[in-house]
Structure 1
Amino acid sequence: MPQLLIRGIGPERVRAASRSLIAELAAVCECPPDHIMLECLPTAAFFDGEEVPVFPFVEVAWFDRGEDVRDRFAEAVDRHFRAAGIPELEIAFRTYRPEEYYINGKRAGGSRENPAERAGRESEEERESALRAAEAENRRLKEELAKARKSLQSAAGERMSSRLRDALRE
């Protein structure tokens, strides 16, 4: 994994690009080159009762590696196939979740917990933590304000320098 399902590009062009493309994709994904598979799918496209050329399309099936890796991966695929004479192509990613992927009947990874529930709980925990921190900061600021007001009231009868007054206002 990742697996590239390639349509609309002949096997000779895929073979020509494969060695350097796989080496670069392995570096981008930080995985061994033998984890990357290029599959050239023979397809036929039809329009209005006639066979038409298949538009070059690469579908990448993989485990998510983040936006930065996905962007670099897509750029490498595009660059290598353009160098092989393909003027334009489209790339789409199909992301598998390890907890839903099985190898020889065994789960590849992850827990049985629903990822959306886990993400919702984590974000709820993060929100609660941020709220507690904001409340603590609010209490601290209220205490400082109360001290400053008390200081101003006691000094009301005394003449206070403008710099001191400005400092207490802040």
Structure 2
Amino acid sequence: MPHFRFRAVEPQTVQTLSKPLIDELQQYMECPREDFTFEYIYTTFFHEGEVSQAYPFVEVLWFDRGQEKQDAVAKVITQQVRGVIGEDVDVAVIFTALNASGYYDNGEHY
């Protein structure tokens, strides 16, 4: 854990970002590299009855690590996504804090 879900980007972008994001974010997450997961979610966005372009949307599911670390992680994600896609793109980063007692690994909660 943490788990990153990417929308409105190409799967190759997620693949490209998966290593440098771990490299830079591991210090904030304080967990082994193998605990990071990256997911590409194919999605279509609509606006006013038409298919529309969307800006990159990154959802982070994690155990809360405080506002200071959350702010730092959001900046790292934004910078790295912009580094691959383009500096002028908006990037949404949404955090969902998970409760350790509700997260199970091999039938045991944290």
Please state whether the residue corresponding to 1:22 is helix, strand or coil: helix
> Partner of 1:159 in structure 2?
none
> Partner of 1:15 in structure 2?
15
Counterpart-to-counterpart distance in 1, 2:49 and 2:94: 27
Bigger proportion of residues as helix: 1
> Partner of 1:150 in structure 2?
none
> Partner of 1:75 in structure 2?
75
- Deviation at 1:24? 1.0
> Partner of 1:3 in structure 2?
3
Structure with max Cα Rg: 1
Aligned residues: 108
Please state whether the residue corresponding to 2:40 is helix, strand or coil: strand
Bigger proportion of residues as strand: 2
Q: How does 1:1-170 map to 2 (within 5 A)?
A: 1-86=1-86, 87-106=89-108, 108-109=109-110
- Percentage of matched positions with identical amino acids: 33
Amino acid paired to 1:31 = C
- Deviation at 1:16? 1.9
| 1:64-110 superposed Cα distances (whole Å, 9 cap, x missing partner) | 1112211111111111101002421111100011122223333x23x
Considering Cα pairs closer than 8 Å and 6+ residues apart, tell me whether 1 or 2 has the greater RCO.
Answer: 2
Structure 1 runs of 4+ aligned residues shifted over 6 Å read: none
| 1:19-75 superposed Cα distances (whole Å, 9 cap, x missing partner) | 111111112212111111111110001222221113311110011111221111111
The runs of 5 or more residues in structure 2 that have no matched partner are none
Please state whether the residue corresponding to 1:93 is helix, strand or coil: strand
Aligned-CA RMSD value? 1.4
8 Å contact kept, 1:5–1:58: yes
Amino acid paired to 1:98 = A
Normalised to the residue count of structure 2, the TM-score between the two structures is 0.88
8 Å contact kept, 1:56–1:89: yes
Amino acid paired to 2:93 = I
- Deviation at 1:12? 1.6
